[in-house]
Amino acid sequence: MTTSNNSMKSTFWRGFRNGLPFILVVAPFGTLFGVAATEAGMDILQVMSFSVLVIAGAAQFSALTLLIEDAPTVIILLTSLAVNLRMAMYSAALVPHFGKLRTRLKLLISYFLVDQAYAMGIKEYDANPEQPIENKVAYFFGIMLATAPFWYISTYLGAALGASIPEAFSLDFAVPICFIALIAPMLRTIPHIITAFVSVALALSLAWVPYSLGLIIAAILAMMSGAYAELKLGVENDT
Amino acid sequence: MIPDPGKIWPVIIAMAVGTFFIRYSFLGLLGDRELPAWFLRHLRYVGVAVLPGLIAPLILWPQATGGTPDLARILAAAVAVGIGIWKKSVIGTVVFGIGTLYLVQYLNG
């Protein structure tokens, strides 16, 4: 009992240490989201609710951008939730490891199922699939303790700061720059690059389509061209 | 600015619920089932299909200039893309991107 408790504790702290470098990713995004959302007119409760209830940077920035563009609510939701669809893949990949847990723990893990936690967790579980399920859970929450609080805190600091930054700093541009920082590491393979290229080209040429529908059309066609390119090129792919 | 603040709460709530159910989908509801290969192949490209198209107009036709293309912003975006692909560092991308914007704005007076 004591031994398994000890190994659980040490696994938790190993997850925590392995999660710490993600602060460098999470803190700037959180801060910039807080700043950008506040500048766009959201109050602190709205900004914090966004980061605490949704915890998904890219989708939050998408929603914010489309809110500013006054897109219809349905379009905002379709687009932003599409950005989060990748998490269904994470959810499926974790079933072999967490499928037998109590519902309450699965609910909690699902809430925290962000990119960083998934990437680190799955690496650990695939390398060492036979370890006890308690250790896998401990590792996951170790990563989360190292990252989630910084997401909340940095959002808050950004929101508190946002109101006091003068317009001369061109912070409207923080959002596109943040997106670029998010997208650039995604361009790992030729199909990904093709997808991004088609997305940009079509989004620009369909910008005239009302209700921001042009973006949805562009995204669907870009996604199909990426999948098609992968099929033709036979690219061996990670997520 | 967000022209219609009435949309903010519905968007937050619906995204919170929707995102949670996406995360909970297989773990809690669908369980261990094979996803068809064609479906996964498309799912892999959703993010990179949506995000570049979302920001391209913001870079080319920025709100701050009333939609007129602005050299400083285009150069800043190009530098950010370069640094992002090369260094894969979030802070580096943001610092060099915003830095380029300020530098060009300063040089242009």
A59 and A118 fall within a common domain: yes
Same domain, A180 and A226: no
| Residues A155 and A207 grouped into a single domain | no
B46-60 vs A73-84: helix crossing angle, rounded to 10: 130
Same domain? For B109 and B56 the reply is yes
**CA-atom Rg of chain A in angstroms:** 20
| Cα A133 from Cα A124, distance rounded (Å) | 12
* Alpha helix positions (H), A20-132: 23-39, 44-49, 57-68, 73-84, 86-98, 103-111, 115-127
Domain of residue A57: give its range.
Answer: 2-185
**What are A107-120's pLDDT values in tens digits?**
999 999 998 888 88
User: Are residues A226 and A118 located together in one domain of the fold?
Assistant: no
What total of structural domains would you count in chain B? 2
Q: Are residues A131 and A216 in the same domain?
A: no
Interface touch B48/A199, C-beta < 8 Å: yes
Q: Is B76 on the interface with A (CB under 8 A)?
A: yes
Residues B12, B60 share a domain: no
Residue B46 maps to a domain: no
Residue B44 covered by a domain: no
* Rounded distance between C-alpha atoms, residue B27 and residue B6, angstroms: 34
User: From the list B1, B41, B54, which residue is nearest A231 (CB)?
Assistant: B41
Rounded to a whole number of angstroms, the distance from the CA of A11 to the nearest CA of chain B is: 22
pLDDT in tens, B63-96: 778 889 999 999 999 999 999 989 888 788 889 9
- 3-state secondary structure (DSSP) of residue A72: coil
Contact B47 A24 (CB under 8 A): no
Shared-domain flag, residues A15 and A104: yes
- Check whether residue B70 and residue B102 sit in a common domain: yes
Q: Residue window 50-69, chain A: list those with CB within 8 Å of chain B.
A: 50, 53-56, 58-60, 62-63, 65-68
A166 and A197 belong to one structural domain: no
Out of A151, A169, A185, pick the residue that ends a domain.
A185
Sign of the CA dihedral with A85 first, then A86, A89, and A93 last: negative
Asked whether residue B56 falls in the same domain as residue B87, the answer is yes
Give the minimum alpha-carbon distance from A181 to chain B in angstroms, rounded to a whole number.
5
Q: Is A203 on the interface with B (CB under 8 A)?
A: yes
Residues A193 and A178 in one domain: no
As for how many domains chain A has, the answer is 2
How many Cβ pairs within 8 Å bridge chains A and B?
A: 282
pLDDT for the residue numbered A158:
93
What's the pLDDT score for residue A235? 66
What ipTM, to 2 d.p.?
A: 0.86
pLDDT at B108 over 60: yes
Residues A96 and A205 in one domain: no
pLDDT mean across residues, chain B? 90
Q: What are the structure tokens assigned to B102, written together? A: 């300020």
Q: What is the pTM of this model?
A: 0.83
Q: Is residue B45 in some structural domain?
A: no
pLDDT at B56 over 80: yes
Is A13 in the same domain as A118?
A: yes
pLDDT of residue A176: 85
Residues of chain A with C-beta less than 8 angstroms from the C-beta of B71: none
B65 in reach of chain A (CB within 8 A): no
A49 interface with B at CB cutoff 8 Å: yes
Does some domain include residue B19? yes
According to the model, what pLDDT value does residue A239 have? 46
Chain A residues touching B83 at Cβ < 8 A: 184
Q: Are A72 and A147 part of one and the same domain?
A: yes
Q: The domain containing residue B8 runs over which residues?
A: 1-32
Among A170, A185, A200, the domain boundary falls at A185
Are A119 and A201 in a shared domain?
Answer: no
pLDDT in tens, chain A (239 residues): 455 778 889 999 999 999 888 888 888 889 989 998 998 999 999 999 999 999 998 899 999 999 998 999 999 999 999 989 889 888 988 998 998 899 999 999 999 999 888 888 988 898 888 899 999 999 999 999 999 999 999 999 999 988 787 766 777 787 788 888 888 888 889 999 999 999 999 999 999 988 788 999 999 999 999 999 999 987 654 54
